[in-house]
Structure 1
Amino acid sequence: MIEQVIDARRHSLGGFDVGRVLPFRKRRMVGPFAFFDHMGPVDFPAGVSRDVDVRPHPHIGLSTLTYLFDGEIMHRDSVGSVQAVRPGEVNWMTAGRGITHSERFERARREGGHQDGIQVWVALPEEFEECEPSFAHVPADGLPHFGDGGVAGQLIAGEAFGLRSEVPVYSPLFYIHWTVPAGARVEMPTGVAERAVYVASGQVEAGGQALQAGQMAVFNPGTAPAIRAVEDAVLIALGGEPVGPRFIDWNFVSSRKERIEQAKADWRAGRMKLPDADSDEFIPLPGDPEAQANPMS
């Protein structure tokens, strides 16, 4: 029933580490989900260095979804958005033909505090890869809540269990935050080709196999195993219909390799507009001379 278990690998963003699950050498995507980072958990002291910030950088061909369990991130982008995301909310940014943005831990620098959350990249179907860039913020009351028996669920994006999130997705998918007390069970949604569950904290059992915090289980097509919490657990369930293979290079996703090369050339030449509210610095293209001393690239 479980096709594959993927362990999060520690990846440095310069100021702090994330747990990177997707892409993985033996599993590039789950449905349209091409990237999955667990940001934290980390405790920032007040006055933490600005090195923890992610300075302005570009994307094409994808939507980013930022969702927090704890903390706050300030988002600024090249379509004029300035929007903090807090626990239970969604920042959904569609890059399309090209967008730039920054993600800064401004509250943590002022006050310190706990930071924990997930960021995913959702590949756009080919007909939307070159769409106009856009940004949407969806507050917690725009995300359906469900559950019983002590289980609390929040449908972050897509459709599941007859519910629909307000996040404006471009292809069939679901993305769920579950809090599951020890001994309780949850069932994965059906109706899409590819599905997986990530254990953000705690321990669960699925299909007779134990899953620890920091592990993602990818299920065989057509199977719907119950997931039982061995101890109190926080889960992210995700799935959807495949959109076809994608090339991923740095922050660029595309069905065409030559499109990524064009995006790299555009960024190198300064042809991609920086955020109006955050245009004093940027992350150079990795491999360029000015990027060699830049730990964020």
Structure 2
Amino acid sequence: MLDLVIDARPAALSPGFEVKRILPYRLKRMLGPFIFMDHAGPVQVAPAQLSSLDVLPHPHIGLSTVSYLFGGQVTHRDSLGVEQIIRPGEVNWMTAGSGISHSERFEDPAALAGGALEMLQTWVALPEADEEAAPAFTNYQPEELPIFTEPGVWLRLIAGEAYGLRNAVRTHSPLFYAHVVLQPGARFGLPRGHSERGAYIAKGQVEVAGRRYGAGQLLVFGPQNDPVLLALEPCTLMLLGGEPLGERFIWWNFVSSRRERIEQAKADWQAGRIALPPNDNAEFVPLPTDKSRPAGSGSDPAPQALS
């Protein structure tokens, strides 16, 4: 039934701030157009350590970032001049296109109360025709996102099309992304009509074809399978996938269909040709020292950003 099971690996974004990294994975670089996925939290730190979680201004090209919170809040600032407090249930979609920089700051001590801060960050690669699109950022409120319910099942469509639902979140290629909560004993299938599909278990345990899977695992299914997930306890799932876009190269926070474009982005960031956020420009993440393999042959250096 399953094509692959991906176990999340620990990745440090800053001192004291470790996340679960799901994508990219050596045996599965992308799932549909999704090329990156991090799960942060629940985070528990003292208020005095709040600033240690901050992700300083850093650049992106060739992708869209999607920020989605289960709890807490984060302040996004970018080189377009956007300043947006990101709250649970919203979709914050930033298209880097030809180049953007942004920061993510954890500025509200109340957002950490009781380990409340928890978020998912994904990157969606852009089709070749859109890789140099103008940068953009859009915040979508929860009331703009359709909800589906049935006994034991609650679903919010974050983006794309699935289960006969769609919303106004602007995407660049066929995909689906959904937040699902299952009660014990509930059965739920993945949406049909997509070439690549996955279910990330954020909380709880599910059973698929008689086998158990738990939190921190991404279950990957091809189009030929029609899996049913049985919740063994209260579960939170993120369902995602869509149509493949072809080969993409990833180095640090840059994604492109062309190796030479990543080299250009590296030079642009080092030379200051990608602007910093005007309201957060006192510090930034420098270009990593490249002692890794050539750009495109892997994902080293590891991405710095949550998004």
- TM class, shorter-length: over 0.9
CA distance in 2, matches of 1:33, 1:48: 32
Return 5+ residue gaps in structure 2 as ranges. Answer: 291-303
Question: Identity over aligned residues, as a percent?
Answer: 55
CA distance in 1, matches of 2:112, 2:225: 46
Q: CA deviation at 1:47?
A: 2.3
Indicate whether 1:281 and 2:286 are aligned. Answer: no
Indicate whether 1:241 and 2:218 are aligned. Answer: no
Indicate whether 1:204 and 2:209 are aligned. Answer: no
Conserved? CA contact 2:33–2:243, under 8 Å: yes
* Matching residue of 1:78: 79
Q: Structure 1 stretch 9-18 or stretch 204-213: which is displaced more?
A: 204-213
CA distance in 2, matches of 1:21, 1:103: 20
Q: CA deviation at 1:58?
A: 0.1
CA distance in 2, matches of 1:182, 1:13: 34
* Matching residue of 1:292: none
* Matching residue of 1:47: 48
Change (3 A) 1:49 1:73: closer
* Matching residue of 2:3: 3
- For residues 248-267 of structure 1, what are the structure 2 equivalents within 5 Å? 248-267=250-269
CA distance in 2, matches of 1:213, 1:91: 24
Return 5+ residue gaps in structure 1 as ranges. Answer: 289-295
Q: CA deviation at 1:49?
A: 4.1
CA distance in 2, matches of 1:230, 1:182: 5
Conserved? CA contact 2:125–2:255, under 8 Å: yes
* Ranges of 4+ aligned residues in structure 1 off by more than 3 Å: 108-113
* Matching residue of 1:230: 232
> How many residues are matched?
291
* Matching residue of 1:65: 66
- For residues 1-297 of structure 1, what are the structure 2 equivalents within 5 Å? 1-14=1-14, 15-108=16-109, 112=113, 113-287=115-289
Matched letter for residue 83 of structure 1: Q
Q: CA deviation at 1:138?
A: 0.3
Q: CA deviation at 1:80?
A: 1.4
Matched letter for residue 174 of structure 2: P
SS in 2 for 1:50: helix
SS in 2 for 1:264: helix
CA distance in 2, matches of 1:108, 1:174: 33
Conserved? CA contact 1:45–1:109, under 8 Å: no
Normalised by the length of structure 2, the TM-score is 0.92
CA distance in 2, matches of 1:125, 1:174: 16
Matched letter for residue 74 of structure 2: I
Matched letter for residue 170 of structure 1: H
CA distance in 1, matches of 2:138, 2:69: 16
Conserved? CA contact 1:182–1:229, under 8 Å: yes
Write out per-residue CA displacement over residues 108-135 of structure 1, whole angstroms, 9 at most, x where no aligned residue.
Answer: 3886452111000000000000000000
Matched letter for residue 64 of structure 1: T
Normalised by the length of structure 1, the TM-score is 0.95
SS in 1 for 2:288: coil
SS in 2 for 1:217: strand
Q: CA deviation at 1:172?
A: 0.5
